């Protein structure tokens, strides 16, 4: 079984059409909210890590990032491990792939209630177990369980860093997220891992 720990970073893109700008203003959709919506933003980084190996950071042109991503995950016996991937990372990747005309050669099962039978394991769902619970934060959850992170940024900083052309900081933040994700998964889900 091949486990791939996955995280994405996104930023809103400039809206050129006046009708769309007006719609967003009328609906009071902030830039921060746009960065979470694949219709109004793009993927700038995908962090991927397999068990006990160095993280791979894909960045640059969005279409090329997506093509490399799908090339890396296709195949049998691959399980994607995410944190909030059920609601964010996976649907975002799929829709941005469609928008960019990138072939999706791999079907990702989004059945959140049968994760043990799925090729996608969302660690946030594992920890929340109940949709009425407050969703935990990856870095806070890590700290609560002895997994320290030197990363001083959060997803809220990504747009600012991108506008300041601090791509290495974004990549490091994404790498740190997949490393914390892997450590949490190994600590709490070892019985699911057959190759550690």
CA-CA-CA-CA torsion sign (88, 115, 148, 65): negative
Domain that holds residue 76: 2-192
| 155: helix, strand or coil | helix
CB 83 within 8 A of CB 124: yes
Q: What are phi and psi of 82, to 5 degrees?
A: -130, 175
Give 13-69 as a 3 state SS string: CCCCCHHHHHHHHHCCCCHHHHCCCCCCEEEEEEEEEECCCCCEEEECCHHHHHHHH
From CA 12, how far away is CA 9, in angstroms rounded? 11
Q: What is the pLDDT of residue 196?
A: 46
For 11, 47, 63, 136, the CA distances from 101, given in Å and listed in that order, are: 20, 21, 8, 34
Burial of 52 (0-12, 13-18, 19+ CB in 10 A): exposed
pTM of the predicted structure, to 2 decimals: 0.87
Number of domains in the chain: 1
- The CATH number of whichever domain residue 37 belongs to comes to 3.30.420.10
Torsion of CA 106, 85, 34, 10, to 10 degrees: -70
Which pLDDT tens digits describe the chain residue by residue (196 residues)? 788 999 999 998 877 777 776 777 666 777 777 778 888 899 999 999 998 899 999 999 999 999 999 999 877 688 899 999 988 999 999 999 999 999 998 787 776 656 567 788 888 887 776 666 666 788 888 888 889 888 788 888 898 999 999 999 999 999 999 999 999 999 888 666 554 4
Strand partners, 47: 7, 57
From the list 186, 145, 187, the residue with the least C-alpha distance to 50 is 186
């Amino acid at each position: 079984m091949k486990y791939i720990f996955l995280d994405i970073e996104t930023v809103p893109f400039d809206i050129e059409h006046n009708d769309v700008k007006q719609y967003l203003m009328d609906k009071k959709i902030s830039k921060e909210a746009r960065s979470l919506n694949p219709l109004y933003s793009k993927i700038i980084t995908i962090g991927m890590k397999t068990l006990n190996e160095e993280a791979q950071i894909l960045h640059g042109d969005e279409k090329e990032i997506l093509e490399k991503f799908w090339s890396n995950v296709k195949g049998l016996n691959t399980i994607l491990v995410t944190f909030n991937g059920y609601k964010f990372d996976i649907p975002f990747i799929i829709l941005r792939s469609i928008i960019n005309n990138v072939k999706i050669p791999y079907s990702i099962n989004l059945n959140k209630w049968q994760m043990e039978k799925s090729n996608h394991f969302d660690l946030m769902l594992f920890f929340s177990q109940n949709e009425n619970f407050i969703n935990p934060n990856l870095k806070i959850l890590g700290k609560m369980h002895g997994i320290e992170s030197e990363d001083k940024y959060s997803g809220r900083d990504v747009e600012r860093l991108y506008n300041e052309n601090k791509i290495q900081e974004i990549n490091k933040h994404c790498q740190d997220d997949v490393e914390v994700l892997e450590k949490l998964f190994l600590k709490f889900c070892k019985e699911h891992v057959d190759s550690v």
